[in-house]
A and B are shown apart, each in its own frame.
Chain A
Amino acid sequence: EAQVTQNPRYLITVTGKKLTVTCSQNMNHEYMSWYRQDPGLGLRQIYYSMNVEVTDKGDVPEGYKVSRKEKRNFPLILESPSPNQTSLYFCASSLKGVGNTIYFGEGSWLTVV
Chain B
Amino acid sequence: AQSVTQPDIHITVSEGASLELRCNYSYGATPYLFWYVQSPGQGLQLLLKYFSGDTLVQGIKGFEAEFKRSQSSFNLRKPSVHWSDAAEYFCAVGDPDYGQNFVFGPGTRLSVLP
Seen from chain A, the residues whose Cβ lies within 8 Å of a Cβ on chain B are 4, 31, 33, 35, 40-45, 48, 50, 58, 90, 92, 94, 96-102, 104-107
Contacts and interface: CB of A to CB of B under 8 A. Distances in A.
Interface residues on B, range: 20 to 34
A41 to B, nearest CB: 6
Interface in B57-114: 90, 94, 96, 99-102, 104-107
Nearest to B4: A42
B43 A107 contact: yes
Contacts of A100: 100
B78 to A, nearest CB: 20
Contact of B99 (A40, A98, A104, A106): A98
Contacts, number: 56
B41 interface: yes
A-B interface, 5 closest residue pairs, ranked by CB to CB distance from nearest: A104-B43, A42-B104, A43-B104, A104-B44, A42-B106
A38 to B, nearest CB: 9
A45 B43 contact: no
Contact of A42 (B43, B100, B107): B107
Given A96-B100, A99-B51, A40 B44 contact: no
B46 interface: yes
B9 interface: yes
